[in-house]
């Protein structure tokens, strides 16, 4: 046993208590995409204290928390795709304590705003993102039945659809909070009259020929638009990742998560649910 020698006996080394500083990555669920040359869903809003944050903003500030205190965590689900040319469903918000990331906007006619905005269907305008979380979706092409626009991503807006071509989803943001760099919150691709458009890096779904692909689970990517009467892709669920130095986390009932160690930090990756976390 490793410990301190006290009166000829080994005494265990006490655990180092929680130091109170927690860095985070909070990614909301991506928006769904629409059908009928449909616009791509926007990537979920992204707020981060490590590497980079969404919308081209400055890094967020780490939270100072107390031991033996419950803090709320919610992982937002992705929005549903639609089988019509109407607006698809927005993704759900993700939350950690006082930090809320906004769900990605739904793509299609009257595309909705969100963490990143949904892309416009053909002859429809895209929607704006949320400041310091993500960018807007592009506008659909001007001609009937031609190119729709991709949804915005946390790292860049989508281009407009042109001619018969849909536009790719906006790129997400690469964050290395777990020790390896991963892209999150890419926009879904906009459908076009013949082929497919790529989803943005960070889990954005490819537009369909005919059906759109879903955004990637736990990356917060927007769904890919579809053409014809097929269903637009659903948005991918978000994720909450927490990083600290000293202390032990308890992940409460209602949450699904794992813990790991990388680069001298302790990390909790929470992938689903709503509940509380606390430290000791």
Residue 13 lies in a domain: no
Tell me the per-residue pLDDT of 9-23, one tens digit each, with 9 for 90 and over: 444 556 789 999 999
Q: Are 169 and 119 in contact (CB under 8 A)?
A: yes
| Exposure b/e, 241-261, CB count within 10 A at least 16 = b | bbbbeebebebbeebebeeee
The SS3 assignment for 141 reads coil
Based on the structure, what is the number of domains in the chain?
1
Is residue 8, in this structure, part of any structural domain at all? Answer: no
Residue 61 lies in a domain: yes
Q: Domain for residue 230, yes or no?
A: yes
DSSP 8-state secondary structure symbol assigned to residue 155: S
Could you tell me which residues come within 8 angstroms of residue 219 by beta carbon, excluding any fewer than 6 positions away?
27, 30, 172, 182, 183, 184, 185, 186, 202, 203, 236, 239
Give the residue, 228 or 243, on which the prediction is more confident.
243
Does some domain include residue 204? yes
Give the range of the structural domain holding residue 190, as residue numbers without chain letter: 20-280
Task: Tell me, yes or no, whether 35 lies in a domain.
Answer: yes
* Structure confidence by residue, pLDDT tens digits, 139-196: 998 877 678 999 999 999 999 998 888 999 999 999 999 999 999 999 999 998 877 9
- Is 3 a domain residue? no
E strands, the chain, in order: 3-6, 9-12, 21-27, 46-48, 63-64, 71-74, 94-96, 99-101, 173-175, 182-184, 239-244, 249-251, 255-262, 265-279
- Asked if the structure places residue 135 within a domain, the reply is yes
Euclidean distance between CA atoms 25 and 241, whole angstroms: 5
């Amino acid at each position: 046993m490793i410990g301190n020698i006290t009166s000829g006996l080994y005494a265990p080394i006490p655990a180092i208590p929680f130091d109170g500083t927690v860095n985070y990555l909070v990614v909301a669920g991506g928006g769904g995409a629409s059908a009928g040359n449909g616009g791509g869903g926007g990537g979920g809003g992204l707020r981060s204290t490590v590497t980079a944050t969404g919308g081209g903003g400055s890094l967020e500030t780490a939270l100072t928390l107390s031991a033996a205190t419950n803090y709320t965590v919610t992982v937002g689900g992705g929005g549903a795709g639609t089988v019509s040319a109407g607006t698809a469903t927005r993704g759900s918000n993700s939350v950690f304590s006082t930090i809320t990331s906004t769900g990605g906007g739904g793509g299609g006619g009257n595309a909705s705003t969100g963490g990143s905005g949904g892309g416009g269907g053909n002859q429809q305008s895209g929607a704006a993102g949320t400041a310091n979380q993500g960018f807007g979706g592009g506008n659909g092409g001007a001609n009937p039945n031609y190119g729709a626009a991709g949804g915005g991503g946390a790292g860049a807006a989508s281009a407009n659809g042109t001619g018969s071509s849909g536009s790719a989803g906006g790129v997400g943001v690469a964050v290395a909070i777990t020790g390896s760099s991963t892209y999150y919150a890419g926009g879904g691709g906009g459908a076009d009259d013949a082929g497919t458009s790529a989803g943005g890096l960070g889990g954005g779904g490819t537009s369909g020929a005919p059906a759109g692909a879903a955004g990637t689970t736990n990356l917060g990517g927007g769904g890919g638009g579809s053409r014809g009467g097929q269903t637009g892709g659903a948005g991918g669920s978000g994720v909450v990742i927490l990083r600290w130095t000293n202390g032990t986390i308890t992940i409460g009932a209602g949450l699904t998560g794992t813990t790991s160690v990388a680069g001298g930090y302790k990390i909790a990756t929470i992938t689903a649910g709503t509940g509380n976390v606390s430290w000791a």
